[in-house]
Amino acid sequence: MTNPRDYALPDPSLDPEAQRIAWERDRDERGWRHTLGSAFEEGRKEGYEEGFRIGKKEGGLLWLLTEKFGPLAEEHRSRLAGADEATLDRWLDGIVDAATIDDLFRE
């Protein structure tokens, strides 16, 4: 019977080439983690800012519509909540001339 240690690989921690490869892999992995983390954080920040900007417009428009036309029906609230930023801008521009909320949303 042979000893299993006879076939074992040499201890990589003693091999300078293995140490170099391990160090490079560790360095590369840390670099990727830093890059991905930075990109994720930047994307999260941009998403938050865009959401805040759109939410602020949506909230302002909701207030203006309620002041001008009274309490909004659920259908109108849903359309307002689902509108993109360009649509919100168009509705904000048109609120002064709109006779009814349906006229405004029809544009």
Q: What is the pLDDT of residues 22-45, one digit of tens each?
A: 888 888 888 888 888 887 788 778
Q: Is residue 3 part of a domain?
A: no
Q: Is residue 8 part of a domain?
A: no
Is the pTM of the predicted complex or chain greater than 0.95? no
Name the domain count of the chain. 1
Provide the sign of the torsion angle of the four alpha carbons 63, 68, 71, 77, taken in this order: negative
- Which token pair is 92? 């904000």
Q: Is residue 101 part of a domain?
A: yes
Q: Is residue 9 part of a domain?
A: no
Q: Is residue 6 part of a domain?
A: no
| Residue-level pLDDT at 106 | 83
Residue 68 belongs to domain spanning? 14-106
State the burial class of residue 100 (Cβ atoms within 10 Å of its Cβ: 0-12, 13-18, 19+).
exposed
